[in-house]
């Protein structure tokens, strides 16, 4: 009888926010399961930077949020 293979840590469920740029950034978290542990920090940093860029864009033109939202 074969032993069950370890599955690794559970992947977080990413919930859509309705904001295209935020959803695209959060989708990057799905890459964590496909890279070695030592590369996880780079994935998280990339997602973090994308979220920061999105927030900074809102500070630049706060009235432009309607164009970034899905109906």
Q: What is the pLDDT along the chain (71 residues), one digit of tens a residue?
A: 566 665 666 666 778 899 999 999 999 998 888 899 999 999 999 999 999 999 998 888 666 555 555 55
Q: Total structural domains in the chain?
A: 1
Total-model pTM: 0.67
6 in a structural domain: no
47 in a structural domain: yes
Domain containing 45 equals 20-60
Beta pairing partners, 69: 19
- The neighbour count for residue 6, using CB atoms within 10 Å, is 6
For residue 30, give every residue at least 6 positions away whose Cβ sits within 8 Å of its Cβ, in sequence order, or none. Answer: 11, 14
45 in a structural domain: yes
52 in a structural domain: yes
């Amino acid at each position: 009888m074969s032993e069950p293979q370890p599955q690794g840590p559970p992947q977080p469920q990413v919930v859509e926010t309705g904001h295209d740029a935020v959803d695209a950034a959060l989708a990057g978290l799905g890459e964590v399961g496909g890279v070695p542990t030592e590369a996880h920090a780079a994935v998280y940093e990339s997602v973090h930077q994308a979220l920061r860029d999105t927030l900074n864009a809102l500070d630049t033109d706060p009235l432009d949020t309607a164009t970034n939202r899905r109906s």
